[in-house]
Amino acid sequence: MPHKRWLYALWLLFIGCFALLHAFHLSADFPDHTPWTGDWAKYTDEGWYGNAAIRAHLFGSWHLAGDLNPAPALPVWPFLEWVLFFFTGVTVQAARGLAVAFFFCSLLLSYLLLRASGPHWTALLAVTLIVTSPFLYCFSRLAILEPLMMTFTLTALNLALRLPRLRRPLAASATIGLLFTLMVLTKTTAVFLLPALIWAMAAPLRRDIRLAARCLLSAAFAFAVSFGLWMALVIHLGFFADYKYLFSSNQFIKPREFYWPFVSLWWSFHGGLWVDQILIPLAGLIVLGAALAWWNAGVRKLLLDPVFGASVLAVAGTLFFMACQNHPQPRYFAVAAFFCFFVVAKGAGALLDTPNDTRPPRSPQRILGWAVVALVVLAAAFNGLQTLSYAAHPEYTFVDAAQRLTQYIDAHPNGKRLLVSSSGDEITLITRLPALCDDFGTQDLASKLARYQPGWFAAWNDLDPGTLEDIHTHYSLEQAASFRAFDDTDRNLLVLFKLHPLAGGQMRSPDRQNLQIPLPGDKIDINVE
C-alpha cells in the first residue's frame, strides 16, 4: 500500500541520517562524560594496531625491533590502512573514516542477514537500534579492530545462511573458511565467534546432514590452509616472536580464590550494561523466556532460527572470553552489541509475526510483542537523543594535546626527536612524531631505551614505579610541560618529560639502588604510584 511504502521510506531516511552522523567530526575526541570513560582504546589502540601502516609511510619500515609490533598476528587492518594512506596520507581522520566505512558495510549486512530469515520490519528495527546506539556511535568511530571484524563476521554469516540456496555450497563454505581466517587475523578473539559461525552453517542444512558435514569440512580446510600459510610466512620471515608476544602481553593476573571464574563471569554479564541498560536486559529476558518455553512450536522455531542461535552463541562466546581474561572492557562489547540487538529484533518478530495464526489480535503473545516493541522504541528514542548530543558537541582536547606536545618538542630540542609513551603510537598517528611504547614490546623498556636513545617521555597523570625504574637505568627525568585531555580522572593530564642521559653514559643498577622513586637530578612534580 502507498502509505506503507511512505512509512518505510521515512524509516530508511531516519536510519540514513543517524548513520551519517558517524562520519562527521572524525578527528574529534571520544566523547567525554560517557559511561565508558576508562576504556584505553581512545588513548592507545588506534595507534597500536595501525602502527605498521603508520611507520611504513612515515619512517620507511613497518617493523620496529623490540617494540610493540602487532602486525604479524593482526595484519589485515594495518594492511588496509597502508593502502588507504597512499591516497590520503597518514591522518587520524582517514583511519577513522575507514572504520566508519566498515560500520556502514555492517549496517547493510545486518539488514541482509535479518531480512533473509524474517520480515522487512524486524531487519529495519535491528539496524535502527545499531545506528541510534550511543555506545556504537562512540566505538565505531575509532580506528580499532572491531568494525572490520564485524564486517567479516556478518559477511560470513550471510553466506552461511544462504548455503541451501546456492548452486555451489562447498565453494561458498570454503569462502566462509577464508573469511574466518580474515576474522582471526583482524582480531584474535574472533575464535570465540566460531560456535556462532558453525551454527549459522549447520542450522539451515539440518535436513541434509551429509551436505552440512561436507560444508563444515570445506570451511575448516580452507581456514587451515590459509591460516597455515600465513603462519608459515610469519615464521619464515622471523616475526614469530612478535606474533607470540601479542598473546603473552594480554595475559592478566588471575585471583588466587578458586571461585574467581564465577565472579569474572558475573562481571562480564554485568558489563553488558555498558552497551545499553534497557536493550541488553531485554535481550537476556528474550533468550531466557525462549529457553523456558522451548515446548511451544513458535518458540522452537525461534530457537532453531540460524540468526537467533548464531547471535546468542556470539554473545556467549564474547562473555566467555572476557570471563577467561578476567578483564572486561567496554570495547569488547562492540561486537556483542550487534548480536544483542539482533536478538531483540528477532524476539519481537517472533511474538508479532505469526503467519496463518488464528489467535485473536489481543492474545497474550501479541500483547507481549507490542509491549516489547514499545520498550524498544522508547530505548531507541532515548539512545538517539544521546547520540545526537554526542554528535552535536565534538571536542578536540586530545588532538590539541598531541599537537601542543609535538610543538613543544620541536621548539625545545633535547637529543633525539623520539617520544616514549603508552600513547606514543596514537600521537604518531595524529602528529607524525616518532614514538616507542613504554608498556609493551618484545624487549623490556630499559633495553629499548639503550637501543633507541629517545629524548622524551610522556605519561598520564602519574608515573608507574616500574617504568620509572627502567628509565632511571639510563636517564634522569625533567618534567617539562603538561597538557589537559579527555575526562578520565586517572588519565586527563598528559605530562611531558625531557630525558637526560646519565653523565658519562653510565648506567644505574636496580640491584644497588632503589630506582622506583625520584632521584637526585630528577625534576618530577607528579605522583609516583
- Kindly state whether residues 287 and 365 are assigned to the same domain: yes
Distances (CA, A) of 351 to 258, 346, 367, 373, 524: 42, 9, 9, 10, 63
- pLDDT, residue 163, reads 94
- pLDDT of 365 higher than 90: no
Query: Are 373 and 413 contained in the same domain?
Result: no
Lowest-pLDDT range of 319-323, 325-329, 405-409: 325-329
Residues 339 and 460 in one domain: no
3-state secondary structure of 495: strand
Residues 171 and 246 placed together within one structural domain of the fold: yes
Residue with the three cell numbers 529495519:
124
pLDDT at 356: 52
CATH code of the domain containing 409 = 3.40.190
Q: What does the pLDDT read at residue 359?
A: 54
In a domain, 514, yes or no: no
Residues 60 and 148 in one domain: yes
Q: Domains in the chain: how many in total?
A: 2
The strands making up 456-460's β-sheet, listed across from edge to edge, are: 435-436, 419-420, 456-460, 491-501, 475-488
Angle in degrees, 0-180, between the axes of helices 333-352 and 92-115, rounded to the nearest 10: 30
Are 183 and 60 part of one and the same domain?
A: yes
Boundary of a domain, candidates 372, 392, 412? 392
Residue 425 scores a pLDDT above 90: yes
Query: pLDDT by residue (tens digit) across 255-311?
Result: 777 777 777 778 887 788 889 999 999 999 999 988 887 777 777 888 889 999 999
- Contact (CB, 8 A) for 29 and 494: no
pLDDT, tens digit (0-9, with 9 covering 90-100), for 53-76: 999 999 999 999 999 999 999 999
Closest CA to 402 of 525, 489, 484: 484
Q: What percent of the chain has pLDDT over 70?
A: 97
Task: Give domain status of residue 207, yes or no.
Answer: yes
| Alpha carbon distance 160, 174 (integer Å) | 11
Please report, to the nearest 10 degrees, the dihedral formed by the alpha carbons of residues 221, 227, 233, 235 taken in order. Answer: -110
Confidence check: pLDDT of 1 > 70: no
Residues 46 and 87 in one domain: yes
Examine residue 378 and state whether it is found in any structural domain, yes or no: yes
Q: Is residue 524 part of a domain?
A: no
Same domain, 383 and 425: no
| pLDDT one-digit tens code per residue, 462-501 | 999 999 999 999 999 999 999 999 998 889 999 999 999 9
Amino acid, single-letter form, for residue 235: I
If asked whether residues 296 and 403 sit together in one domain, one would say no
User: In the predicted model, what is the mean pLDDT of the chain?
Assistant: 92
Average pLDDT (16-35) is: 95
- Supply φ then ψ for residue 478, to 5 degrees: -125, 115
Is 60 exceeded by the pLDDT of residue 31? Answer: yes
Instruction: Check pLDDT > 90 for residue 442.
Output: yes
The pLDDT value recorded for residue 362 is 66
Tens of pLDDT, residues 114-169: 999 889 999 999 999 999 999 999 999 999 999 999 999 999 999 999 999 999 99
Q: What is the pLDDT of residue 52?
A: 97
Please write the tens of the pLDDT for every residue from 367-393: 888 899 999 999 999 999 999 999 999
Provide φ and ψ at 491, rounded to 5°: -145, 70
pTM here?
0.94
For residue 452, the model assigns a pLDDT of: 95
More confident residue, 512 or 21: 21
Whether 414 has a pLDDT exceeding 90, the answer reads yes
Angle between helices 279-292 and 306-325 (to 10 degrees): 110
Which range marks the domain in which residue 404 is found?
Answer: 397-505
277 with 416, same domain? no
Candidates 149, 147, 375, 389; CA nearest to 276 is 375
Under 8 Å between Cβ of 490 and 529:
no
Q: How far apart are CA 180 and CA 173, in angstroms?
A: 11
Helix (H) or strand (E) holding 23: none
Residue 208 within any structural domain of the chain: yes
